Amino acid sequence: VPPSPTPRAVARAAQIATIKAVAQRLIAERGVAGLSLREVAREMGLVSSALYRYYASRDELLTALILDAYNDLGAAVERADARHAGESARQRWRVAARAIRTWAKRHPHQYGLLYGTPVPDYQAPPLTIEAATRSTRVLCNILSDDRRAGGASVTTSSGRDVRRFLMVDGVAAMLPGVAEDDYLAALMAWTHIFGFVSFELFGHYVGSVRNATLMFDEVTDRLADLLDLSD
Amino acid sequence: VPPSPTPRAVARAAQIATIKAVAQRLIAERGVAGLSLREVAREMGLVSSALYRYYASRDELLTALILDAYNDLGAAVERADARHAGESARQRWRVAARAIRTWAKRHPHQYGLLYGTPVPDYQAPPLTIEAATRSTRVLCNILSDDRRAGGASVTTSSGRDVRRFLMVDGVAAMLPGVAEDDYLAALMAWTHIFGFVSFELFGHYVGSVRNATLMFDEVTDRLADLLDLSD
DNA sequence: TGTACATCAGTGAACGCGCGTTCACTGATGTAC
DNA sequence: TGTACATCAGTGAACGCGCGTTCACTGATGTAC
């Protein structure tokens, strides 16, 4: 028998959810610097000190928000990929990349929280670091699955030793079945996707890009070429 | 005869320089949010209201800092490229890319100011926008020069119409002599360089990259391939 | 070269505001016997 | 099922702080005649 949660526990969970929702809205409206515990409390009709029942400090709340954002993004990408399970690697790649960009455009300030300027003096706890890899892991799986299915075709083996600059052990764990020679291309592909999204969101394509959605698809395809994903 | 600057004008210029230097240091130490006029004044031994002789508001000072940062970066890249004038396009490309990364690593907080999360409600004045293109213009010139010298080799003409998603007129002005088919590769190359630097600076390569300097050179070379730069 | 007036840098006090965090407290909810 | 005690959510006041910006002012520097 699962112990039915006490009313107090239910209320507590609801309060935490509300706190985070209000905090996220504040960040969306005024940026990270605009997040204040007093304001959150005010909007909830509480006295500011009441929030300390839930978070020991502003930083702790911020950490929770960052963690949630990473997980939210990760879940969105996972869901998108799951919807296209069994399709070609190229198709899955397109879909996953789009999911990242779509989430970012829907939650621009949360995206900024994750991939923009780091908050000064803020140190991400290990739990956050793990959540951070969730979206990337989907991209890794797509490449991995394709290599294992397609007979591990090696792309441009430049003959250069990737071990000089990559932590191959860590990368290998994320990319089983992928040849070491492809690690660089993989990292470049992830970098490019997030680089594109950041450039778009932060306004650096103003004046040169007319339709970012179309361009993103085009870019995504070229990255798929680079990764030699099968069609 | 150039009108010799009055002592007052000299003093004024010096004060402005000091204000900016102190402000930059504060940003470097505590992030943008940590920039306060009162603190700047305090460090200069002035009363806070004195600063209003120089900047009408905190925002105006911030704008000046952003403008300076863009120009500082642009000048650094231009100087680096000038030092290698006449060398191969590939070599110039490597040098320019390195100059961008080096500047970013030397001035991480200023880089964040330019390419990180945008300051909420901050609107860049036109002068800033122009300064912002300075570093990119160097990259553009390298490609342009190479195409004009080498007989305009077209890379992968994918047959797709770049006009659907790019503002070709604007891009063309920056890339004389470059075929429209190459515009996408060019934009991808700029994006990648800044994407890499942001990822590195903002901590997203922790755990996968061992030596970012070596990797950056490798990445830069692959981008040069993509652009078909001559050796 | 000397005087009269305008400009400008910097002062000091004040306005009005918001913030994170602590602490002793009340009253309701939960738990153990 | 009822009572006694412990836990917990929320209160209200306070501490100590910093911020951007305005305003009337003094005294030095610059300019015009």
- Distance, CA of B31 to C1' of D16, in Å: 23
Nearest nt by C1' to A50 Cα: D10
Cα–Cα distance between A186 and A172 in angstroms, integer?
A: 11
Show the tokens assigned to B59. Answer: 């925002």
| Mean pLDDT within B82-87 | 97
pLDDT digits (tens, 9 = 90+) for A58-101: 999 999 999 999 999 999 999 999 999 999 999 999 999 999 99
Residue B123 contacts A where some CB pair is shorter than 8 Å: no
pLDDT of residue B1: 43
Nearest to A199 among B167, B194, B212 (CB): B194
pLDDT of residue A160: 74
**Residue B14 confidence (pLDDT) above 80:** yes
Q: What is the DSSP string of A169-182?
A: HHHHHHSTT--GGG
Cα–Cα distance between B77 and B58 in angstroms, integer?
A: 29
Report CB contact under 8 Å: A222, B196. Answer: no
Report CB contact under 8 Å: A188, B214. Answer: no
Torsion, Cα of A215, A221, A223, A226 (10° steps): -140
Q: Are B204 and A115 in contact (CB under 8 A)?
A: yes
**Residue A155 confidence (pLDDT) above 60:** no
Decide: pTM greater than 0.85.
yes
pLDDT of residue A2: 52
Residue A135, CA distances (Å) to A59, A140, A144, B31, B196 in order: 24, 9, 15, 28, 18
Cα–Cα distance between A56 and A58 in angstroms, integer?
A: 7
pLDDT digits (tens, 9 = 90+) for A15-38: 999 999 999 999 998 889 999 999
Report CB contact under 8 Å: A192, B192. Answer: yes
pLDDT digits (tens, 9 = 90+) for B51-72: 999 999 999 999 999 999 999 9
The closest alpha carbon to A184, from A219, A152, A158, belongs to A158
Q: Which of residues 50-89 of B touch A (CB under 8 A)?
A: none
